[in-house]
Structure 1
Amino acid sequence: MGTPLGDFIRAKRDSIQPESLGLRDHGRRRSPGLRRTDVATRAGVSVEYLTRIEQGRDRSPSVAVVNALADALSLDSAERAHLRYLAKITGGECVHGARPAPARRDVRPAVLETLRLLEPGIALVTNRLGDVLAHTGGFASMMEASGLLETDAPNLTRYLFTDPRARTFFADWDAVADEQVFDLWLGPSVENAEWFRAELEPVAGADFTRRFDRHVVPQRGVLRIDHPAAQELRFHRETFELATDAQQLVVFLPADERTAHSVERFRLRPPGRLRAVT
């Protein structure tokens, strides 16, 4: 049985062309990318040891080995951070099957007050599972046509993969889906992510499973929304980590003048719709 660490190393190895690292192309192969021999040589480990890591038979490589593998695969800073995180959780034990303690859903009064100060701006409090825990009236106005907030406990990840409206509302649906699935690896806990994956996979299908297994670190560029009342909206997103709560405050900032004008129209709607989702 593989591990998240082994899956990531193998997926990354398969995605790299030898010539991009100045290595000789050995011709047609059964699988794409780098050979284990190439990576093992660059990392200074044996092929047998690399095979054990990829196959999940060695779950506790040293920090030096993890760093050497990051160098061998030419990982960028975000990918290195993800590799170190996977090494950490792979060495521990995950709870499988049983529902773990649910992720925290209450939002501290100070965070709710921060949301009030951001009105009539567009902001929400969420967690890495995609639960929408609280939001401003501006966020509700923008998302009204999407269907995201129609449920009692809205979850962006579940919405993306199970509601057909998401694929037209988000102009770059693939990129947003990549972001949400990748974030499952980041918490609120490994157990929560494992349980959520098991719950979502049967209804989300191959689009979800493929992303979860690829471990592609998303770029998180401009968010484009095809809003039926305002044509295309473009937003920069600023994310503030609420580390003690395992939650994030996300603020949407217009990325161009047309979006700013459209947001201004949203702000003319009746105020006072700040909502904590319980």
Structure 2
Amino acid sequence: MGTPLGDFIRAKRDSIQPQSLGLPDRGRRRSPGLRRQDLASWADISVEYLTRIEQGRDRNPSPTVVNALADALRLDHSERNHLRYLAKITGDECAVHIRPVPPSRRVRPTVLDTLRLLEPGIAIVANRLGDVLAHTSSFRLVTGGTGLLDPAHPNLNRYVFTDPRARAFFVDWDDVADEQTFDLWQAPSLENLEWLTGELSPIAGSEFTHRLKRHVVPRRGILRLNHPAGHQLRLRRETLELPAEAQQLVVFLPADDQTAEVVDQLQRQSHGRLRSIS
């Protein structure tokens, strides 16, 4: 049985063209990317040891080995942080039995007060599992008619992977899907991650599980939305971490004048109040 750490290393190895590292082209091979032998040589470890890590038979590589693999794979800053995080949780999986549990949905009162101060801006409080825990009235205006906020407990991952309307709403659906699955690895706890993936995998299918194992570090560019009224919105995102609760305050800012005008028009047409979802 594989591990998140092994999956990530294997995915990155498969994505690297040997020529980009100055290695010779060895012709057609059954597997794409960099050979295990080449990566092991660059990281100064044995092929057997690398195989054990990738296959999940060794779940506790030392920090020195993890850093050597990061160097050999030419990982950028975000990817290095992700590799170290996966090494940590892979080791934790060996130490404890994971009992899947849902995360707390409580939002600290002072965070809700902060959200109110952001009205009439577009903002939400969410966790890494994609639960939308609270939002401003303008967020409801921007997402109105898309189905995102229809459930009693809205969740971005469920919406993206199980609601057909999501593919029409998110112009760059593939990028959003990569972002959502990547963020799951930063779930409040392993128990929470197991809870959501265990619930979502059977209904979301391979589209979800394949992305979850790819570990693509998202670039998080402009978020483009097709509003049901016929407008396309372009939004920049500013994310403020709330580490004590493992939550995030995300503010969506118009990326151009046209988007700002559409949002202003939506706000004039409907005046709402903050809604906190518990």
TM-score with structure 2 setting the length: 0.97
1:163-188 residue CA offsets vs partner (Å, 9 max, x unmatched)? 11000010001100111111111011
Query: Could you say which residue in structure 2 is the equivalent of 1:257?
Result: 257
Alignment partners' CA distance in 2, 1:95 and 1:21: 40
CA distance in 2, matches of 1:269, 1:112: 25
Asked if 1:151 is matched to 2:151, the reply is: yes
Shift of 1:269: 3.5
Question: For residues 240 and 104 of structure 1, what CA distance do their matches in structure 2 show?
Answer: 19
8 Å CA contact 2:70–2:83 kept in 1: the answer is yes
Aligned residue in 2 for 1:237: 237
Deviations, residues 146-176 of structure 1 (Å, cap 9, x unaligned): 1111111011110111111000010001100
Aligned Cα root-mean-square deviation (Å): 1.1
Matches within 5 A, 1:89-128: 89-93=89-93, 95-96=97-98, 98-100=99-101, 102-128=102-128
Residue 71 of structure 1 pairs with residue 105 of structure 2: no
Q: Which moved more, 1:22-31 or 1:118-127?
A: 22-31
Structure 1 residues 245 and 59: CA distance shift in structure 2, 3 A: same
Q: Specify the alignment match of 2:7 in structure 1.
A: 7
Shift of 1:95: 4.1
Counterpart for residue 183 of structure 1? 183
How many Å separate the matches in 1 of 2:35 and 2:270? Answer: 60
Q: Which runs of 5+ in 1 are unaligned?
A: none
What is the identity, as a one-letter code, of the residue corresponding to 1:99?
Answer: P
Contact 1:17–1:33 (CA under 8 A) maintained in structure 2: yes
- Cα distance in 2 for partners of 1:6, 1:232 equals 40
CA contact (8 A) 2:146 2:166 kept: yes
Q: TM-score, normalised by structure 1?
A: 0.97
TM-superposed CA distance for 1:273, in Å, is: 2.1
- Name the amino acid aligned to 1:42: W
Q: Which amino acid aligns with 1:37?
A: Q
| Contact persistence 2:148–2:154 (CA under 8 A) | yes
1:240–1:250: 8 Å Cα contact kept in structure 2? yes
For the structure 1 residues 266 and 95, does the alpha-carbon distance in structure 2 shift closer, same or farther, using more than 3 Å as the test? farther
Residues 95 and 191, structure 1, Cα contact 8 Å, conserved in 2? no
Q: What residue is the counterpart of 2:172 in the other structure?
A: 172
SS at match of 2:149: helix
Consecutive unaligned residues of structure 2, counting only runs of 5 or more, are none
Within 5 Å, give how 1:135-150 maps onto structure 2: 135-150=135-150
2:123 touches 2:136 (CA, 8 Å); kept in 1? yes
Per-residue deviation, 1:230: 4.6
Equivalent pairs counted in the alignment come to 276
